[in-house]
Amino acid sequence: MDIAMRARGFRPGLNRRTLYVTAQSVALLLIHALLKAETAQMALKCRGFQFGKKREK
């Protein structure tokens, strides 16, 4: 993501703009991580995985 931002002309510094852009990129990263985790959870549930329960032998 850093390479893409630099390719678009972003140069980090100690100013408000840098803080704003960095906060946006971190928020986007967290949103994508949550969506992937939710998708993985649905896939595991479809395969019969039960969260928090131990299997009995």
Residues 6+ apart with CB under 8 A from 25: 1, 5
Helix (H, G, I), strand (E, B) or coil at 14: coil
What residues does each domain of the chain span? 2-46
Tens-level pLDDT at each residue, the chain (57 residues) = 889 888 989 888 999 999 999 999 999 999 999 999 999 999 999 999 887 877 776
This prediction's pTM: 0.70
Sign of CA dihedral 2, 26, 40, 49: positive
What residue type is 2 in one-letter code? D
